[in-house]
Amino acid sequence: MKKDLATLRDLLASTVTGMGYAFVDWELHKQGRYSVLRIFIDKETGVTVEDCSKVSRQISALLDVEDPIQGQYTLEVSSPGRG
């Protein structure tokens, strides 16, 4: 299972960085048959809603092909915010 999670993290990170964003963090919470995948991105000029939407569409397409998460899941892309 840890190998699967490491592979998923690598896929997510390479996709996000390939799009020009910083891959800050990610979380995968499994709750029975359902899961929530949260991805946190950033960039020098700040992250907009459109940035999150763009990354979400790309990650969603990747997950459709790779199918690394069993069952249904919700994908959330956001910025960690500025401190």
Q: For the chain, first and last CA: distance in Å?
A: 34
Q: Half-sphere exposure of 8 toward its Cβ, with a 13 Å CA cutoff?
A: 19
How confident is the model at residue 32, as a pLDDT? 80
Containing structural domain, residue 21: 2-78
Q: Please check whether residue 7 lies inside any domain of the structure.
A: yes
- pLDDT, tens digit, 9 for 90 and up, residues 10-58: 999 999 999 999 999 999 998 888 899 999 999 999 999 999 999 999 9
1: pLDDT strictly greater than 60 = no
**Any idea what the CATH number is for the domain that residue 25 is in?**
3.30.300.70
CA–CA distances in Å: residue 51 to residues 21, 55, 56, 64:
9, 6, 8, 20
Total domains, the chain: 1
